[in-house]
């Protein structure tokens, strides 16, 4: 059923296309993405600082462990995303501590992204309850 046909049958002229009690998926997606981008604009300084810290610590670990820059950044993001393939592992105590800090920064990045996504989804679906 097209959008215009649905408006005619439901009498809904508000621009929000609803199927029964739920919002049209396209409108929900748009509202969600708008909320996600708005949330990212707010926390972008924090996210960029955390990502920069992950890269910087990864490079320091790589220099100490005698890895290339590419391997160092790869290690930082694999550790920060808590994947940990095990193909690169720090051998020294200091670099192991830095790897733990990289992991904690990665968990913070993931938590911030999840919080932004949940807030955006909550705001996108709030119109249905009003």
Task: Write the pLDDT tens digit of every residue in 20-30.
Answer: 556 788 999 99
Q: Which of 36, 50, 46 is nearest to 114 (CA)?
A: 36
Predicted TM-score (pTM) of this structure: 0.76
Where are the chain's structural domains? 1-30, 41-130
Q: What is the DSSP string of 22-42?
A: EE-HHHHHHHHHHHHHHHHHH
CATH of 41-130, one of 1.10.287.70, 3.40.720.10, 1.10.287.130, 1.10.10.10: 1.10.287.70
Beta strands in 1-130 (DSSP E): 18-19, 22-23
The per-residue pLDDT for range 32-65, each reduced to its tens digit, is 999 999 999 999 999 999 999 999 999 999 999 9
């Amino acid at each position: 059923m097209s959008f215009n046909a649905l408006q005619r049958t439901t009498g809904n002229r508000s621009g929000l296309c609803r199927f029964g009690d739920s919002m049209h998926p396209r409108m929900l997606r748009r509202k969600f993405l708008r909320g996600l981008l708005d949330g990212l604009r707010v926390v972008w300084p924090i996210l960029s600082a955390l990502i920069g810290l992950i890269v910087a610590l990864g490079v320091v670990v790589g220099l100490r462990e005698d890895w290339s820059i590419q391997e160092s950044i790869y290690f930082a993001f694999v550790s920060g995303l808590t994947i940990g393939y095990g193909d690169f592992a720090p051998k020294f105590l200091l670099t192991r501590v830095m790897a733990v800090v990289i992991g904690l920064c990665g968990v913070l990045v993931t938590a911030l992204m999840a919080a932004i996504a949940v807030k955006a989804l909550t705001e996108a679906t709030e119109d249905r309850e009003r």
